[in-house]
Structure 1
């Protein structure tokens, strides 16, 4: 993950976005919070649009709280598998 974040921060000709699929599934709470704080910094200073996918409802709620300062710029899309 650290290599991806470092390389992404150096991109100059690529679209300013990040696609992340549940990168903290097996990470302790403290490191998960630190990672989300780092993503907030990237969103604000790095001017990156971040797409974050997770199947963990607790984590999704935490992400909403961490990024609620974005107001209408934050979008949550709930996908449910229909039977």
Structure 2
């Protein structure tokens, strides 16, 4: 009998497909990215609505939005089980 399992298959099922147990749906990277995006949007909106000379809210908000985008890209390009 021969083993038809690919040697470079990622963790999950023997044929390399993602596991059906929903691990990807509850990936902590998605949760962190969503929270950073929410807080970043609030800070950015607060900075744009205010008339302060200091731009710390704007910079912090844009930074959080950028990190949220990077975390989302990381989670999509490197899914759980690989």
* TM > 0.5 fold call: no
Q: TM-score by structure 1 length?
A: 0.28
More strand as a share of residues: 1
Taking structure 2 as the reference length, what is the TM-score of the superposition? 0.28
Larger Rg: 2
- Which has more helix, going by share of residues? 2
